[in-house]
């Protein structure tokens, strides 16, 4: 049994997941798992196709497992299989069976959702529009509510978000 608590950060494009994950890792003197999708898009110079969604999710989970060995008390994961499945549903319809199974079976100790409450910014191929960001944010909240997965919605400035998470994580340890 690991003494490391895995915290997943979910949210739509351009909602501050990566910035928050990195800031939390610095604050708690641990490591964080960057979003593999960003690396995939940069490497291939395109967004993934439907059949590549499972590769994205599997690689993300594999990197979590690798970095878990280096983590101290917390491992902050910039996304998880649930986001890959949500985007897969959004763009392609239902995800393939393997992705759906991974989405349901991969669990975290705590879930954060980043609110899309600051201006949307384009980021090359990976981001589509403020409209899509808002739609995906609603999809994230609906999936979590439907599955009764507890989460903390973090809002406001980066400092405000960091403080919200610190407050919540202090209760996880007590």
Predicted pLDDT of residue 53: 96
User: Rounded CA gap, 163 and 156, in Å?
Assistant: 10
Nearest partner of 133 among 13, 11, 9, judged by Cα: 13
**C-alpha span between 128 and 122 (Å, rounded):** 7
The pLDDT, as a whole number, for residue 122 is: 67
Identify the pLDDT of residue 14.
86
pLDDT for 159: 96
Supply the pLDDT for residue 130: 83
Calpha distance 116→47 (Å, rounded):
21
pLDDT tens for the chain, 174 residues: list them: 358 999 999 999 889 999 999 999 999 999 999 999 999 999 999 989 999 999 999 999 999 999 999 999 999 999 999 999 999 999 999 889 999 999 999 999 999 999 999 887 766 655 578 888 999 999 999 999 999 999 999 999 999 999 999 999 998 876
CATH of domain 5-173: 3.40.50.300
pLDDT of res. 121: 74
* Residue appearing with tokens 């100790």: 109
- Residue 1: predicted pLDDT: 39
């Amino acid at each position: 049994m690991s003494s490391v608590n895995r915290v997943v950060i979910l949210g739509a494009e351009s909602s501050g997941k990566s910035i928050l994950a990195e800031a939390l890792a610095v604050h708690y003197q641990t490591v964080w798992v960057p979003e593999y999708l960003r690396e995939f898009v940069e490497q291939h110079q395109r967004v993934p196709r439907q059949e590549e969604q499972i590769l994205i999710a599997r690689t993300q989970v594999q990197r979590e497992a690798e970095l878990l060995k280096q983590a101290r008390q917390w491992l902050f994961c910039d996304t998880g299989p649930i986001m890959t499945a949500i985007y897969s549903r959004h763009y392609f319809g239902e995800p393939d069976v393997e992705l759906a199974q991974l989405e349901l079976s991969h669990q975290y100790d705590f879930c954060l959702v980043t609110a899309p409450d600051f201006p949307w910014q384009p980021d090359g191929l990976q981001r589509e529009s403020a409209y899509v960001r808002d739609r995906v944010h609603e999809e994230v909240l609906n999936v979590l509510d439907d599955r009764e997965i507890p989460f903390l919605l973090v809002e406001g400035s980066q400092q405000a978000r960091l403080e919200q998470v610190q407050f919540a994580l202090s209760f996880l340890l007590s």
